[in-house]
Amino acid sequence: MMSENEVIKTETDRQTPKYTSACLIFNPIAGRGNNETDLELIKSILEPELQLDIQFTSEEVSPTQLAREALERGAKLVIASGGDGTISAAADALINSNIPLAVIPRGTANAFAASMGIPANIEAACQVILEGVTRVISTARCNGKPMLLLAGIGLEAETIAKADRAAKNRLGIFAYILSAINQLKDLKSFDTRFEREDEVISFSAVGVTVANVAPPTSILAQGPASLVPDDEFLDVTIFAPVSVLNAIAASYHLLKSAFSGTPTERNDIGYLRVKRALINTDPPQKVVVDGEVIGTTPVFVEAIPKSLIVMIPQSQAEAPVEKLEGLPDLTIEPKENNNLSNSDSEYPES
C-alpha cells in the first residue's frame, strides 16, 4: 500500500485493462429499485466475464472494511454498487493502492458517476466495467474522511440533511431540489474565515462548497464551471446572495454556468482553487461530504493528487481560474508563513 503523499505510477493515465475476477461491494438498501433484481441483473452481465466475490454492506460492515478485506485477499478490481456514500467509503481503502475502482450507481443523486460520465443505467454501467478504460483521478480528505466529490458547508449541507427519506425514495434527486427550495425560504448568511497556504480570506456567505469533482446538477459547486478531476487542486465556490430572489437568480446562473462551461461573473458568487484549506464559520455550520453529513465546522480539506484509479469512459475539462471580487465583507490578508496542515488546528472527530 502506498502512502498518500505518493503518486500512483502507471504507464499512462488511460488504459484498457482486462480482468478475470472482481470484488463486488453491494449496498442492499441503496436506491429506489428492487435490490434483488438489481443484483441478479449485475450478475447476469458480469459473471460471464468476471468471477465475482460479492460482499454486502450493512450497519455493522462498512464499504471501507469490505474493500480493505478485498485487497487483503488479493483483489485486482473492486466494484462499488450503491449511492455516493457507498462509493466514497469503498474508495477510501483504494486511495494510492493501484487497485481500480469501478462503479455501478444505484443511489439517489449518483453524483460521482455523473461527474465521471458513468451511466446511471445498470446495464450500461456494467458495460463500462467490461469495455471501459481506467483513468487516474485525484481525491481529497475532509476532516480525515475520504472525499471523492465535495464538501458542502451551510446551504448544501442543510439541503441534504433535511431531505426526507420517503421523498428521496419517491422522487429521487428531485427530493433534494424541494429541500433546497425550502432552505432558501430561511436564507441565513454566516461569517467565514478561509485559510489557505499564503493568505486568510474572510467573507459572508450562505454556502461554501469545496469540490474535487461534481456534475452540473451539483450547482453550488459550479462557480468555476469546469472541474478537473486529475489535477492537484480543489475548487471552492462561495455562494453569497443576500435575499431569496438573489439566491434563486444566482442558482439559475450557476446552472447555466455548469452547462455552458463558462465561469460565473456574478458579484455574489466567488470561486478559488486550493491544495489545502482550513475553513471556520460563525456560527458553526453543518458539513456534508459526498452526500453524508459528518458534523459541523471547522473543516480541514486537502487534495490528494492522482491517487485513485477509476473505470471511466470520458475525458475531462481544463482547469479554471479564480474570482473573489464583489463578495460581501471580503478581506484578504497575507500570512507570515506559507505552512498549512491539519496540525495547525484540531478538527472534530466524527
Q: Measuring CA to CA, which residue among 35, 30, 76, 32 is closest to residue 53?
A: 76
% the chain with pLDDT above 70: 82
Checking DSSP bridges between strand 276-282 and strand 269-274, what pairing results, if any? unpaired
Instruction: Specify the domain boundaries for CATH 2.60.200.40 within the chain.
Output: 145-306+314-344
Distance CA 173, CA 216 (A): 13
Whole-number Cα distances in Å, 37 to 50, 130, 148, 172: 19, 20, 28, 19
Instruction: Specify the domain boundaries for CATH 3.40.50.10330 within the chain.
Output: 17-131
pLDDT in tens, 118-142: 999 999 999 999 999 999 999 999 9
Checking DSSP bridges between strand 101-105 and strand 145-147, what pairing results, if any? unpaired
For residue 313, give the amino acid letter. P
pLDDT in tens, 29-38: 987 778 999 9
* Residue 288 CB partners (closer than 8 Å, separation 6+): 151, 152, 156, 157, 160, 161, 294
Burial category of 48 from C-beta neighbours within 10 Å (exposed 0-12, middle 13-18, buried 19 and up): exposed
Distance CA 304, CA 137 (A): 9
Q: What is the pLDDT of residue 3?
A: 46
Distance CA 31, CA 170 (A): 10
Distance CA 25, CA 115 (A): 21
**Of 150-154, 168-172, 248-252, highest mean pLDDT:** 150-154
Chain mean pLDDT for the chain: 85
Top-tier CATH class for 145-306+314-344? mainly beta
Site of grid cell 505510477: 9
- Tell the CATH topology of 17-131: Rossmann fold (3.40.50)
Q: What is the pLDDT of residue 245?
A: 86
Indicate whether 175 pLDDT > 70.
no
Please, which pLDDT band fits residue 110 given cuts at 50, 70 and 90?
A: very high
Q: What is the pLDDT of residue 166?
A: 56
Site of grid cell 486537502: 302
